[in-house]
Structure 1
Amino acid sequence: MSTGVSGGAAADVVVVGAGIVGAACARALARAGTRVTVLDRGAAASATSAHGEGNLLVSDKGPGPELDLALVSLRRWTVLAGELADELGPRFPSVEHEPKGGLVVVASEPGLAGLRELAAGQRAAGVEAVEVTGEQARELEPDLAPGVLGGVHYPQDAQVQPVVATEALLASARRAGAVVRTGVEVTGGLRGADGRLVGVTTSAGDLAAGAVVVAAGPWSGEVARRLGAWVPVRPRRGTVLVTTPMSQRVHHKVYDGDYFAATQSAGAELQTSAVVESTRGGTVLIGSSREQVGFDDRPRAEVLAHMARRAVAVFPFLAQTNVMRSYLGFRPYMPDHLPVIGADPELPGLWFATGHEGAGVGLAPATGDLVAAALLGADPAVDPRPYAADRPTLSALRPDVSDAQAAQVTCASGTTEKAHEGVRP
């Protein structure tokens, strides 16, 4: 068939989304010899990946599948940072992989008891979690508030510069033969005579493919709908404050004990917790907030005020620090707090790599490896079943779709056929 993307050539795999997760999928597939085309309606690394802090965390995850994936991915990042530097050379910016460690602090005895219980479970799962007294916490972070009673130090926590890391993964994928097309929007799916998804229609023409991987972050639900499928990804908005540059006074990623609960909450209302860390440029990043307001990108002063108060409660010196800007972004939220990594249960040829919420940067390498292993029949590094698109916690949410709601999907033969269209929650 004639295609309008990638010079008219078909791809083995089309990856929809040029953020950190899509980039990791493209690199893993391309380096395994697969012909990959990455499509994004905007610029690479310009959406969710550009509006986070680049966290590589195990401290904010309880025992279970997400932590299992995080531990594998954390080890992968340590190796990957060196691989990318060697492969791309000194002229390419550093991904700034920094194993700075995390420090969770609390100011109440009940909070300390809850944190100890969480840390015990994490240690049993393979996390380095070291209990510290208030005095020991202030040895790690001298500017902590005097009310801090204690906490847990997580030496494994790390960070990368998310935009550079995304661009580096894409550059590596290109070196392995991948094609990256920005400014190209996916508008629908191509179907074979047997109903299988065999490519995509786009704003630049049709592109045939053996498989399509949706890695479009919080927009994955809409992309899935256009392809005639369903995935319950919703946007969850987060905001970050950025101070003016200063001499380094925050040495770890430091957050209060409420952060873990916020990451696991299903509530749509505003939730804030103190998350404070320095950057190599001397600024301090202050988070975090979570709220479900769709794709509303209007900043709210009350959100910034909540975050600032919580940060000052952990580091009082911040009360005298100027904030030079704030930014917000949308994270891909899943109702059961696990990413979707694997084949669509109803549409052959469609795969997902989405729903990581705020953990996409940290989980990207393992996600890419899982997608590549599944598509190429290789052994996965971690059990893929908890992340399957047909897991019970998602199957229970799948809507019934009537014939009147069926989508029109273009067939590879040039005719059209009906395909069920998922109703977005």
Structure 2
Amino acid sequence: MNRTRVVVLGAGIVGAACARELTLAGFDVVVVDRGRPAGGTTSHGEGNILVSDKGPGAELDLAKLSTALWPQVVAEIADEDARAASSIEYDPKGGIVVATTDDGAVALAAFAASQTGVRAEPLSHKELADAEPALTRDVTAAFHYPEDAQVQPAGAALALLGSALRHGAQLRFDTEVVGATVHNGRITGVRVPGEVIEADVVVNAAGPWAGQVSARLGAPIAVRPRRGEVLVTTPMPGVVRHKVYDADYVGAVGADSGELQTSAVVESTWGGTVLIGSSRRRVEFDDTIRPEVLSAIAVKALRLFPSLADVAIMRAYGGFRPYVDDHLPVLGEDPRLENLWHATGHEGAGIGLSVGTARLLRELLTGTEPAMPVGEFTVDRSAVLAEAAA
């Protein structure tokens, strides 16, 4: 019996996670990427797995699903290849969200109380000082989110993809999709230079390039790039112990303006370097790193961790997040082109939400009852189709 062939477009972490889940489900999977695996948005992220930044609704439910799945996925990969699992650098270190104004404290407490099913523990000044000794004492409220975690994003994507390949998936890199083959309103393959890769199902997991790819396939969706930058210090192990961010971060994520939005987000890696973010701005695919943006990020970070003032910055990098106007992922079959599915639009949460997204896609394609309702993620909502069709 011929197996259903699924072509996954994109070898970032969402595409890799989808490829793994679908291969394990028995599909014949081919991953196609115009560059190299984890070479785009995935390699320019911080690796966050967060429930702390999401208000009530479907995205929080997806975050809770993904948070529960991550340790399971890591354990499964460890059974296959311990070295690959180690490269994920899964660290359930927890997060701390702080407010630095009276109004911010009220808003943070209300936000934490609204997150049904999420552990959010208020911290006293002493508890906060014990948890993060280098953090400023000028804090009006703080909440500990023990379910927040972190991975090394490129390592995690490659481990997921490697698992898919071990189970029979194929990879085509340096291969750009230029179009689609369509028969009776159904996509039957993707065109790449010199050939057609036949498919029963195509999954558009191209991240911030998903809008461009979808237009080439004949079913455009309104996914656009939103740029962010990160500063990286020289190693300083133990100085920052959790993911720590100012409550303003939630507002910056949800802002609709294309203008620069910055907030203080500070965390360390396994190697001891400290990642300092974050910024958000819409500049299409302009990859210029601008000193004024890095300066704005640094100023806000120093308000949380004044001791970072004398720390050397080793490098800075930036990347593009897949942005949708209603700030929700896109997951489902395209209503205009049968057998074309989209798995994108996660903005800055794609690392954390990747495994939950992949599980839902697997369930939808196999006719299994989804682990959570997916109605808010469908392709036919106005934020996804209205501008694309304009």
Report the TM-score range of the alignment, normalised by the length of the smaller protein.
over 0.9
What displacement does 1:89 show?
3.0
**One-letter amino acid of the counterpart of residue 120, structure 2:** A
What displacement does 1:360 show?
0.4
Check whether the contact 1:85–1:94 (CA below 8 A) recurs between aligned residues.
no
| Alignment-derived partner of residue 95 in structure 2 | 102
Check whether the contact 1:133–1:149 (CA below 8 A) recurs between aligned residues.
no
| Alignment-derived partner of residue 364 in structure 2 | 374
Counterpart among 171, 190, 204 of residue 181 in structure 2: 190
Instruction: Tell me the alpha carbon deviations over residues 111-141 of structure 1, each in whole angstroms, 9 at most, x when there is no partner.
Output: 000000000001xx20000112333211210
2:267 maps to 1:277: yes
Counterpart among 62, 66, 71 of residue 64 in structure 2: 71
2:38 maps to 1:45: yes
Check whether the contact 2:335–2:379 (CA below 8 A) recurs between aligned residues.
yes
Check whether the contact 2:74–2:85 (CA below 8 A) recurs between aligned residues.
no
What is the alpha-carbon distance in structure 2 between the residues aligned to residue 91 and residue 63 of structure 1? Answer: 34
2:339 maps to 1:346: no
**One-letter amino acid of the counterpart of residue 228, structure 2:** G
What is the alpha-carbon distance in structure 1 between the residues aligned to residue 360 and residue 272 of structure 2? Answer: 36
Instruction: Tell me the alpha carbon deviations over residues 270-293 of structure 1, each in whole angstroms, 9 at most, x when there is no partner.
Output: 010000011111110000000000
| Alignment-derived partner of residue 165 in structure 1 | 156
The alignment partner of 2:365 has SS state of helix
What is the alpha-carbon distance in structure 1 between the residues aligned to residue 42 and residue 133 of structure 2? Answer: 31
The within-5 A match list for 1:146-295 is 146-192=137-183, 194-295=184-285
**Change in 2 beyond 3 A, CA 1:91/1:150:** closer
What displacement does 1:92 show?
6.1
Instruction: Tell me the alpha carbon deviations over residues 364-418 of structure 1, each in whole angstroms, 9 at most, x when there is no partner.
Output: 1111111111112112111111111013544554525xxxxxxxxxxxxxxxxxx
What is the alpha-carbon distance in structure 2 between the residues aligned to residue 40 and residue 395 of structure 1? Answer: 24
What displacement does 1:211 show?
0.8
**One-letter amino acid of the counterpart of residue 32, structure 1:** A
What is the alpha-carbon distance in structure 2 between the residues aligned to residue 46 and residue 76 of structure 1? Answer: 24
| Alignment-derived partner of residue 410 in structure 1 | none
| Alignment-derived partner of residue 324 in structure 1 | 314
Check whether the contact 2:63–2:353 (CA below 8 A) recurs between aligned residues.
yes
Instruction: Tell me the alpha carbon deviations over residues 318-361 of structure 1, each in whole angstroms, 9 at most, x when there is no partner.
Output: 00111010000000001000000000011112100000000001
The alignment partner of 2:111 has SS state of helix
Instruction: Tell me the alpha carbon deviations over residues 286-322 of structure 1, each in whole angstroms, 9 at most, x when there is no partner.
Output: 0000000000011100001001111110000000111
What is the alpha-carbon distance in structure 1 between the residues aligned to residue 323 and residue 260 of structure 2? Answer: 14
Check whether the contact 1:56–1:359 (CA below 8 A) recurs between aligned residues.
yes
What is the alpha-carbon distance in structure 2 between the residues aligned to residue 396 and residue 280 of structure 1? Answer: 43
**One-letter amino acid of the counterpart of residue 209, structure 1:** A
CA RMSD after TM alignment: 1.5
Alignment TM-score, normalising by the size of structure 1: 0.89
| Alignment-derived partner of residue 80 in structure 1 | 73
What is the alpha-carbon distance in structure 2 between the residues aligned to residue 25 and residue 128 of structure 1? Answer: 28
**Change in 2 beyond 3 A, CA 1:375/1:247:** closer
Check whether the contact 1:144–1:314 (CA below 8 A) recurs between aligned residues.
yes
What is the alpha-carbon distance in structure 2 between the residues aligned to residue 319 and residue 89 of structure 1? Answer: 38
The alignment partner of 1:70 has SS state of helix
- Unpaired runs of 5+ residues, structure 1, are 1-8, 401-425
Check whether the contact 2:222–2:383 (CA below 8 A) recurs between aligned residues.
no
The alignment partner of 2:30 has SS state of strand
Check whether the contact 1:23–1:169 (CA below 8 A) recurs between aligned residues.
yes
Q: Percent identity?
A: 52
- Unpaired runs of 5+ residues, structure 2, are none
| Alignment-derived partner of residue 5 in structure 1 | none
2:303 maps to 1:310: no
Check whether the contact 1:137–1:150 (CA below 8 A) recurs between aligned residues.
no
Aligned residue-pair number: 389
Alignment TM-score, normalising by the size of structure 2: 0.97
**Change in 2 beyond 3 A, CA 1:27/1:204:** farther
Check whether the contact 2:78–2:84 (CA below 8 A) recurs between aligned residues.
no
Counterpart among 344, 361, 383 of residue 351 in structure 2: 361
**Change in 2 beyond 3 A, CA 1:256/1:114:** same
What is the alpha-carbon distance in structure 2 between the residues aligned to residue 393 and residue 270 of structure 1? Answer: 21
